[in-house]
Structure 1
Amino acid sequence: MIVYTLGTFDLLHVGHLALLAYCKSLGDTLAVGVASDRVVNSYKPNVPVIPLEERMEMLKALRCVDIVRPYYELEYVSGCKALNADIFVVGEDWGTKSHNIAVESYLKSGGKQIKQVLYDPRTSSTKIKQNVRDQTSNGIYSKLSVA
């Protein structure tokens, strides 16, 4: 079974690791789609801190990840088709936007599964970025030298 999930994977953290380990437990092969900066910017106000190629490189280094592929459009059917995914794993914020409905329809018509998972409450890239901003504004990082 091929399991496919996707995301930004900016500032790789324990929530990402928990998601990827869970996805791998669902099948034999785990494929991970990584959103390009343009895709991320279409639904978030900021582009990722880590460049796409580096985010992909970090994911490729993980034992649980078998395939890493970028995606450049906010649509998921082509990735599911290209991988012949059996299970597509999405986050709790999955909604009813046209690109979500399209992939749900595609998967159901082919007898494939879509699984929705809760986000790990311990952290997020957004929280990490906010902590850095808060600490920077409090002068914590201004005292550190950069090597």
Structure 2
Amino acid sequence: MIVYTVGTFDLLHVGHVALLEYCKSLGAVLAVGVASDEVVRSYKPNVPVIPLEQRMEMLRALRCVDIVLPYYELEYVSGCKEVGADIFVIGEDWGSQPHNVAVEAYLESEGKQIRQVAYNPRTSSSTIKQNVMTQPYKSNGSNVVFAS
């Protein structure tokens, strides 16, 4: 079984690792689609902190990940086809946007599965970014606080 999931994977953290290890437990091969900065910009207010190639390199280094590929458009059918996905894993915020409906229809027509998972409450990239922005920065003995 080939499992496919997608995401930004910016500021790789334990929530990402837990998701990826869960995905790997569902099949023999785990393929991960990584959103380009342009794709992220189309649905989030900020672009990733870590460049796409570096995000992909970090994912490749994880033992649970077998295939890493970028995606440059907000659609998932081509990635599912490219990796031959048997199971597509999505997050709890999955909605009814056209790109989501399209991949659901494709997977259903092919007899494939969709598994929805809850986000790990331990952390998130957004929380990490907020924490970094509120940390005092000491330079030459003075405290400087970054404003967001």
TM-score, normalized by length of structure 2?
0.93
- In structure 2, the residue matched to 1:68 is 68
Are 1:142 and 2:138 an aligned pair? yes
How many residues align? The count is: 141
* CA displacement at 1:143 relative to structure 2: 3.7
* CA displacement at 1:141 relative to structure 2: 1.9
* Structure 1 gaps, min length 5: none
Residues 44-101 of structure 1 deviation map (CA, whole Å, 9 limit, x = unaligned): 0110000000000000000000000000000000000111100000000000000000
- CA distance in 2 between counterparts of 1:105 and 1:117 reads 19
* Structure 2 gaps, min length 5: 142-148
Higher strand share: 2
Are 1:10 and 2:18 an aligned pair? no
Higher helix share: 1
User: Which segments of structure 1 move beyond 4 Å, counting only runs of 4 or more?
Assistant: none
- CA distance in 2 between counterparts of 1:30 and 1:142 reads 42
Give the superposed CA RMSD. Answer: 1.2
- In structure 1, the residue matched to 2:90 is 90
- CA distance in 2 between counterparts of 1:4 and 1:141 reads 40
- CA distance in 2 between counterparts of 1:17 and 1:93 reads 18
- In structure 2, the residue matched to 1:79 is 79
- In structure 2, the residue matched to 1:26 is 26
TM-score, normalized by length of structure 1?
0.94
- CA distance in 2 between counterparts of 1:122 and 1:92 reads 15
Q: Percent identity?
A: 77
- CA distance in 1 between counterparts of 2:79 and 2:127 reads 29
- In structure 2, the residue matched to 1:118 is 118
- CA distance in 2 between counterparts of 1:111 and 1:79 reads 16
